Structure 1
């Protein structure tokens, strides 16, 4: 199905990946896990998949996983900074700037 997007935490690569039903990489976010803080460093959607909500799906899955794991979030990448401003339901996860 064309709209199927699978979001997976590829722990060995320290990134979340979005793949379509055929296994094609659609987008990803790189992260760094330090103790109980996960820093989302770089999010990217491949050009041919832009405008389909891929980045938002990755962000939602990664933030839900962070919450489930009891992690705090450091949004180092501009996409996550903007996403978190719009999606205040995740505000409690964000590490205060130092």
Structure 2
């Protein structure tokens, strides 16, 4: 299984791609110099494979590399940040 996380600014989201198919996404909405993260979704066909964690980890790593900050409104992203405090510096 080939998995990658990519940013699609035109769609306003990060996508997790499995074997060439988009399996899920987390939305990003730029506002006042911060990326609002309101929603994360993984398709039911890919449930239980840990893809939400792969997706959010990849998104936050990329956001850090770009020097951007986030406002996590998505319950999954908030929960992820509680469990992974090494990313809390990204919260605006």
Task: Using structure 1 for the length normalisation, give the TM-score.
Answer: 0.87
Counterparts of 1:55-94 in structure 2, within 5 Å, are 55-94=52-91
- Unaligned runs of 5+ residues in structure 2 are none
Mapped contact 1:28–1:45 kept (Cα < 8 A): yes
In structure 1, which of residues 10, 30, 51 is the aligned counterpart of residue 8 of structure 2?
A: 10
Once residues 67 and 27 of structure 2 are traced to their aligned partners in structure 1, the CA distance between those partners, rounded to angstroms, is 19
Q: Deviations over 1:26-81 (max 9, x none)?
A: 11111101243111111001011011111111101111111111111110110000
Once residues 33 and 53 of structure 1 are traced to their aligned partners in structure 2, the CA distance between those partners, rounded to angstroms, is 26
CA RMSD of aligned residues (A): 1.1
Once residues 32 and 68 of structure 2 are traced to their aligned partners in structure 1, the CA distance between those partners, rounded to angstroms, is 8
Query: Structure 1 stretch 81-90 or stretch 30-39: which is displaced more?
Result: 30-39
- Unaligned runs of 5+ residues in structure 1 are none
Higher gyration radius (CA): 1
Mapped contact 1:15–1:30 kept (Cα < 8 A): yes
1:6 deviation in Å? Answer: 1.5
